Amino acid sequence: MRILVVYCHPSRTSFTYEVLRSFTRGLSDAGHEIEISDLYGMDFRTDLTEEEYLRETHYRSDLPVPADVKAEQDKIERADSIAFVYPVFWTEAPAKLVGWFDRVWTAGYAYADCTMKPLDKALFIACTGKTLQSLEETGNKLAMETVMLGDRINQRAKSKQMVFLDGISHYDEALLQRMKPQHLEAAYRLGLEF
């Protein structure tokens, strides 16, 4: 299969970058073809222009989309499945990934006469500082699943999954060191079994 990986983290010294590497190693070992959109690396623009905003709010799917948005849509069309790898910032994806959805999910493509190719699978790998137990107790896990799987993917993929790699915070260095190897192994397996 051909997999589009949308990666969003500002630093290559991060745990999230190590997760990307483990995950893509698993995908390669399984024989998948990979294309990566590194949103910070590409300096992907995430603010809507007024023109883009008006196009969306008036459902003007007859109007063209910007070239950088079209390039992302073309990557989706070339892919069978999509995966997102990112850290959780304030119970959301980083603003750069949220902005990717704002701009790439356009009218006439992802909604309002949707022409987007139906994807086989959508996978979200979200790295979190908090523990899974804490994210469950506060309802934050459900909130993130509702937004990503329920709203942003919805019917756009035949199967969808969100995985949280938790407890990765320098606030608790001992926990981080304990969790890291098992999370990197899990990321590799997610790639291998994609």
Shortest separation between residue 164's beta carbon and ligand FMN, angstroms: 8
In this structure, are residues 122 and 163 in contact, taking their beta carbons and an 8 Å threshold? no
Nearer to ligand FMN, 64 or 139 (CB): 139
For the beta carbon of residue 74, count every other beta carbon within 10 angstroms: 10
Q: What's the CA gap between 169 and 96, in Å, rounded?
A: 21
**71 or 95, CB closer to ligand FMN?**
95
Q: Which is nearer to ligand FMN, 67 or 90 (CB)?
A: 90
Residue tagged 């994609």 (tokens): 194
User: In the complex, what is the shortest distance from the CB of residue 120 to ligand FMN, in angstroms, rounded to a whole number?
Assistant: 27
Tokens coding 35: 């294309």
* CB-nearer residue toward ligand FMN: 103 or 130: 130
Rounded CA separation 62/17 (Å) = 38
Residue that is written with structure tokens 């893509």 in the block? 24
Torsion of CA 49, 55, 61, 66, to 10 degrees: -10
- What is the per-residue binding string for ligand FMN in 154-193, x denoting contact by CB under 6 A? --------------xx------------------------
Structure tokens at 98: 């949220």
Site for ligand FMN in 79-138 (CB under 6 A): 87-91, 127-130
Interface residue with ligand FMN, options 3, 4, 7, 16 (CB under 6 A)? 16
Q: Could you list the residues that contact ligand FMN (CB under 6 A)?
A: 9, 14-16, 87-91, 127-130, 168-169
